[in-house]
Amino acid sequence: MAISRSQLVKELEPGLNALFGLEYKRYENEHEEIFDKETSDRAFEEEVMLSGFANAAVKSEGSGVTYDTAQETFTARYTHNTIALAFAITEEAIEDNLYDRLASRYTKALARSMANTKQITAANVLNNGFSTTYPGGDGSPLFSTTHPTISGTFQNTLTTQADLNETSLEQALIDIANLTDERGLKIAAQGEKLIIPTALQFTADRLMKSAGRVGTSDNDINAIRNMGMVPQGYVVNHFITDTNSWYVKTDVPNGMKYFERSPIRTSMEGDFETGNVRYKARERYSFGWSDPRGIYGSAGGS
């Protein structure tokens, strides 16, 4: 349905002082703090996890060497969604508008809606990260204590979920340092960045920037800060819905991924019969993860 003069009554009358409601600032590109961007020219992308070899065995004198095998373990698939929104304005509404160009004003609103949708879609990877309804390539949710491997399991969440504090963050960093590969070999992983909802920004600032321990009477140093355990500090994501959840992005490659299939494009056309002018925005992308070792998360303690 096209936007007509009946929906723009005040804009057609003299004496209007201001139009407002479409000029709010917006949170820009917060997904870039979580996901590594790649481009795609296919309907979907697949990434395959490979296993290496187990630990080498002792070879007895005169005996044969031990052979091992490598293999594929699981496949992560990224299926690109098409995101689009449009609006139309009647020919009469455009002619009778007294104040400014309707098209320029509402195309800004269109861009705002498209951007907001992208941020929600990206954050939902974390918001749904503890739900078995949204499994990854290995069959487990993004955050699990039992991600399966050839040699056993590994975890990228706390055994007992806990709110963000000194103890829980230290345990997360310890767990990250103890991560293993598909054959159980230790990998040199480190936390890089703390990702939090708005409700935890004051807690995170005290925790990451205080010289001493937070919330204690001890005169101890803040070990997390002193050791540079989270070198990129913390970032706030305004689209995380669980106010108790928190996440640590690690330096493990091929973790959180964002594929851009088609960048945002806008177009317009006029309809010969009605005279209506139609405006459309469209883009294609997908958000997800390949290696769950790329991020660690906690749902919080309550």
> What's the chain's average pLDDT?
87
Q: What is the pLDDT of residue 138?
A: 95
pTM: 0.88
- Specify if 116 maps to a domain: yes
**CATH assignment of the domain containing 153:** 3.90.1690
- Specify if 259 maps to a domain: yes
C-alpha closest to that of 263 among 3, 30, 39: 39
- Specify if 69 maps to a domain: no
- Model pLDDT for residues 209-259, shown as the tens digit of each residue: 988 887 777 778 889 999 999 999 999 999 999 999 999 999 999 999 999
The helix (run of H) or strand (run of E) holding residue 82 is: strand 81-89
Q: What is the pLDDT of residue 9?
A: 39
User: What is the rounded distance in angstroms from the CA atom of residue 75 to the CA atom of residue 60?
Assistant: 38
Could you tell me the residue range of the domain that residue 157 belongs to? 34-44+75-298
Exposure letters 103-117 (e unless 16+ CB within 10 A, then b): eeebbeebeeebbee
Q: What is the pLDDT of residue 241?
A: 96
Say yes or no to pLDDT of 27 above 50.
Answer: yes
- Model pLDDT for residues 28-85, shown as the tens digit of each residue: 899 999 999 999 999 999 999 989 898 898 988 889 999 988 898 999 999 999 999 9
Residue with tokens 């399991």: 153
User: What is the rounded distance in angstroms from the CA atom of residue 141 to the CA atom of residue 133?
Assistant: 8
C-beta separation of 185 from 291 below 8 A: no
- Specify if 12 maps to a domain: no
- Model pLDDT for residues 178-216, shown as the tens digit of each residue: 999 999 999 999 999 999 999 999 999 999 998 888 777
Number of domains, the chain: 1
Q: What is the pLDDT of residue 89?
A: 81
- Specify if 150 maps to a domain: yes
Say yes or no to pLDDT of 163 above 70.
Answer: yes
Contacts of 188 (CB under 8 A, 6+ apart): none
User: What is the rounded distance in angstroms from the CA atom of residue 46 to the CA atom of residue 140?
Assistant: 17
C-alpha closest to that of 195 among 232, 144, 246, 230: 246
- Specify if 58 maps to a domain: no
**Bridge partner list, 153:** 148
